[in-house]
Structure 1
């Protein structure tokens, strides 16, 4: 693993969503300016520009200074800008820069995110992840699940990461999570009220998480503390979780659950719609959300990831009889068959 790859876990995109401005030339200029300031070591100016959540994630200006030193030591100077793109997602503007460095053979991707006050809401440096490599024999890109799945919640959730491409879903670059989804709740383009300094500020925190299908609970974890927003717990990646065996060699994993909220017990038989727990912010999570994935065995991180098709739901208010939710959609279970 390269140093740049290690840095990915150090700075994750802080999801500070507000009612958004359209991405524009201004976003490109701001992103390029922030990158230049980072290279030049203008740490004080960058720190003052960051949201409280980003400052909490970094912990101190010294961390930002240390990160700059690591980048320069590992990559040297930037030699070529491969591309610059801007977009709007979840209410904030995103600048993505792909560049080559003197000491690194890999293309490095630098991401800045800006909220509506033009504060830095996210910063990430990592090797560019191209589309997933051709599937190995063990991967099941054409798989159709035999278990009839429903969405694991009754409220409307927003798909922050979901889909089959890396652009739609960063999980797609990791074999064991290739088809996973990260889901949260937005209101007026924001995932939280106020500054989002407490878990209770997040609209999805405490929402009921439901069994997506009949099955037997084969694993329960419920002792992991919920994080302070902006902080993470990489030593326990999924945090609190429930794993359900649906039969047919299909298992659901529901993760980042609220500490103390898990109602299911190991060995319990559950039915579709049974409340398992509450949505939380435990594990390697920067804010409250649900991680869901379907896999071919009970062990998270070892079992083969499977595509998950859900039945009878609404995506952006349009009925879907059977489908896979993708990034940017608002989804909820339909009350009647479409």
Structure 2
């Protein structure tokens, strides 16, 4: 069982669709100003009273108060909110807080709030990256199984999170499909634990995090969700994220240049991970808070026994490099 890897995101979300409008509707102007006033005064119970019945059922007052107070503790008071656009059932604002800037999404059912979403603000001028530009090998030796991968949430829950929408989770399984040898109680019982993780292309190491303990299988460490981590930057400005390395196994340092196939470290179970596996994705900028994920195609790989010149594997496929 895996805990979904969700990078920092603050949200309360329930929504009912309504017709889109070309400009800010007065009811949204009023609602946002009212929210801002109550939030800054710490009147979180009054904000809860503005929620629709569905919203209140999904997010009881204790959870709502915890969410809003935590947001204020991290971000400070809400200074301003400038309308930008509509998306699905939401009006979207650029919300300036004292210490953070967020994209502030709000959905209304008549005058009641039935959806709120706060996520790091993403400027419209960020570079676009739809797929990899560099030729990539798979980031490991031998045959691994795609636990999560593909373009739909049924195949890949990552698609719901912008910065990792093209991500993969890889594990090692036996002929019966199990990822462990006996009782799954220790990391060493998992086939993937300690396996070598490779550079998928020539790149520069721009971030290394090490020293985070590996979890006991079935538990997680949500304080740093990617655990022991390596981020590479290619000459084409692609940013490649590897997560959940084994503690103290990472062999590369920030600023180092690596070549395709170089050993980066060993597969572990650190961070927001319930069993040893590799989380891998590519994004358009270094900062995960504002990044958008890109789809990855690997060159000259074998997918379920069939040689592929280029392939982006999907859930349950077994993959390996051709050489």
* Band of TM-score, shorter chain: 0.5 to 0.7
Distance in 1 (CA, whole Å) between partners of 2:127 and 2:144 is 28
Q: How does 1:97-176 map to 2 (within 5 A)?
A: 143-176=130-163
SS of 1:263 mapped into structure 2: coil
| Partner of residue 230, structure 2 | 242
Partner of 1:252: 240
Distance, in Å, in 2 between the alignment partners of 1:3 and 1:302 is 20
| Equivalent position of 2:197 in the other structure | 209
Contact 1:185 1:204 in 2 (8 A): yes
Q: CA deviation at 1:300?
A: 2.7
- 1:236 and 1:251 map into 2 onto residues whose CA distance is 19
Pairwise CA distance, 1:301: 3.6
| Secondary structure, counterpart of 2:150 in structure 1 | coil
In structure 1, what is the equivalent of residue 310 of structure 2? 322
How do 1:219-238 and structure 2 match up within 5 A? 219-238=207-226
- Paired residues of 1:138 and 1:304 also in contact (CA < 8 A): no
The answer to whether residue 257 in structure 2 is matched with residue 274 in structure 1 is: no
Task: Select the structure of larger CA radius of gyration.
Answer: 2
The structural deviation recorded for 1:137 is 9.5
Task: Find out whether 1:298 has 2:281 as its counterpart.
Answer: no
Relative to structure 1, the CA distance from residue 260 to residue 148 in structure 2 (aligned partners, 3 Å threshold; closer, same or farther) is same
Task: Give matches, 1:60-71, under 5 Å.
Answer: none
State how far apart, in whole Å, the 2-side matches of 1:332 and 1:301 are.
Answer: 31
Question: Which of residues 57, 63, 85 in structure 2 aligns to 1:74?
Answer: 57
- Partner of 1:132 in structure 2? none
Secondary structure of the equivalent of 1:332? strand
Q: How many residues align?
A: 210
Unaligned 5+ residue runs, structure 1? 5-72, 77-135
Q: Which residue of 2 aligns with 1:332?
A: 320
Distance 2:192 2:306 in 1: 22
Question: CA distance change for structure 1 residues 331 and 139 in 2, over 3 Å: closer, same or farther?
Answer: farther
| 1:318–1:139 Cα change, 3 Å | farther
With over 3 angstroms needed to count, the CA separation of the structure-2 counterparts of 1:139 and 1:330, relative to structure 1, is farther
154, 177, 188: which one aligns with 2:164: 177
User: Unaligned regions of 5+ residues in structure 2, if any?
Assistant: 1-10, 15-55, 60-123
**Conserved? CA contact 1:139–1:305, under 8 Å:** no
* Distance (Å, rounded) in 1 between the aligned partners of 2:289 and 2:186: 30
> Relative to structure 1, is the Cα distance of residues 167 and 140 closer, same or farther in structure 2, using a 3 angstrom cutoff?
farther
Q: Residue 189 of structure 1: CA displacement?
A: 1.3
Cα gap change, 1:169 to 1:332, in 2 (>3 Å) = same
4+ residue runs of structure 1 moved beyond 4 angstroms?
Answer: 136-141
Please report how far the alpha carbon of residue 75 of structure 1 lies from its aligned counterpart in structure 2 after TM superposition: 5.3
Please, which moves more after superposition, 274-283 or 300-309? 300-309
| TM-score (normalised: structure 1) | 0.58
SS at match of 1:163: coil
> What is the CA-CA distance between 1:144 and the residue it aligns to?
3.7
Superposed CA offset, 1:5-46 (max 9, x none): xxxxxxxxxxxxxxxxxxxxxxxxxxxxxxxxxxxxxxxxxx
Q: Offset of 1:185 from its aligned partner?
A: 0.3
Alignment check: 8 A CA contact 2:244 2:278 kept: yes
